[in-house]
Structure 1
Amino acid sequence: MEPDFWQEKWQKNEIGFHLSQIHPLLKRYWSQLGPASTGRVFVPLCGKTLDMHYLREQGADVVGAELAEHAVIAFFEEAGLDPAVSDWHGGKCYRTEGITLFQGDIFTLDQSTLGPIDAVYDRAAVIALPPALRQQYALHLINLAGNAAQLLITLSYDQSAMAGPPFSVDADNVKDLYGRHYDLNCLSSKNIIEHEPRFRERGLSTLTESCWQLTPK
């Protein structure tokens, strides 16, 4: 998607993708990553997700990347936090104890700027990207995070029935994106359409949410 698309979504507060609670699959499966789960955790395209607070509470040092400055500012304001702000070559860096957010285009973020990463939590990044960008994102993420272990949450559905985002990413897509670098373990997969009226309104009859553990080969 063009950057202006997401900037406009945040400016208009059209953020149906933002959850007002911690994702239950994160709570259920995060510990599956073992020691990496309490290390330095990267959250790509993080928005203002409350999941970052949960990760911090588990002992992780959380690092996020988000294009929209509006989202980054809202994250800290809503938590009552006053971050230190500095510049990096792609935007601004907001930092408080245990949480650092890089505001800017994730594709301009490099490994030397990000620093070492132990684990990745991807709930809304890969599904936010159309196929043309998805492969580029996956390879960039692998290089950026040093092939760190991942907890990945995806949605899959009949793409012909609804235009994304979020885009459909099924098991074959996950294998194509990550299978060369990771052993893939599907921890759960469930049709959640009965709990998602906004997707029914958009024409879907089935919406499968899956949670994947990606272990470096």
Structure 2
Amino acid sequence: MTREWLERWREGRIGFHRHATHPALVRHWPRLGVRTGTKVLVPLCGKSLDMRWLASHDHPVLGIELAEEAIEQFMAEGVGDVSRYRQEPFSICRQGSVELWCGDFFHFHIAQAAEIGAFYDRAALIALPPATRQRYAFHLAQLIPPGSRGLLIALTRATGDEAAGPPYHVSAEEVRELFEPNFLVTHLEDGEPEAESGFRESVWALTRRGPLT
């Protein structure tokens, strides 16, 4: 999966990239009640324009992306100076209130997530094969403090073929199975099936369980 992902970016095979802010983010994020100024974690972020939307709504953004090409393109397509620094094992680029960490999401640890108070997943869970999704859900729960909220967008295939991907088919049952041990999971909507791909999006609100401090 890692090699294929990097090859896609090197070869420009990024049909999964949206050239506009995701409408589900615009519709549902304000309803989550995330406080202004809360830093938002965006795992496997690519060069998503959704991060600029979040930043424009007064949310600092911390995106994590394995492909250096995605980060460099995001910075080149943005406006403003870019600062660069390292926090091992990540190299970091910052432009405005968006900082992108280049490296493996599973190497990002709780000490580095101290300021995180919300999250947004449009293309992380569905990019991971079945064997890795449980690890992802558990790792995300470790990084997110109790009471924090996030938005998750998953995909289902009309054929239900779980082996085809990425992006992968992730059923509503699997979303609940993965996240309900650590999150309050609320289904928000299902989109219309896409004619070409047969994919249907499902949108979820997640609130981290646990004692509030």
TM-score, normalised with respect to structure 2: 0.91
Q: 1:202: which partner in 2? A: none
Q: 2:168: which partner in 1? A: 167
Q: 2:200: which partner in 1? A: 208
* 1:162 shift after superposition: 6.9
* Paired residue secondary structure (2:178): helix
Decide which moves more: 52-61 or 30-39: 30-39
One-letter amino acid matched to 1:25 = A
* 1:97 shift after superposition: 2.6
Equivalences for 1:40-189 in 2 at 5 Å? 40-147=39-146, 148-157=148-157, 158-160=159-161, 163-189=164-190
Distance in 2 of aligned mates of 1:126 and 1:178: 11
One-letter amino acid matched to 2:109 = D
Asked whether the 8 Å contact 2:141–2:208 carries over to 1, the reply is no
Aligned identity (percent) is 38
The runs of 5 or more residues in structure 1 that have no matched partner are 200-205
Asked whether the 8 Å contact 2:144–2:208 carries over to 1, the reply is no
Decide which moves more: 14-23 or 72-81: 72-81
Q: 1:8: which partner in 2? A: 7
Distance change >3 Å, CA 125–CA 37, structure 1 → 2: farther
Name the structure with the higher helix share: 1
Distance in 1 of aligned mates of 2:180 and 2:35: 20
Distance in 2 of aligned mates of 1:162 and 1:179: 23
Superposition RMSD on alpha carbons, in Å?
1.6
* 1:38 shift after superposition: 4.5
Distance in 2 of aligned mates of 1:67 and 1:34: 30
Q: 2:192: which partner in 1? A: 191
Decide which moves more: 112-121 or 157-166: 157-166
Distance in 2 of aligned mates of 1:142 and 1:76: 29
* Paired residue secondary structure (1:153): strand
Count of matched residue pairs: 207
One-letter amino acid matched to 2:153 = I
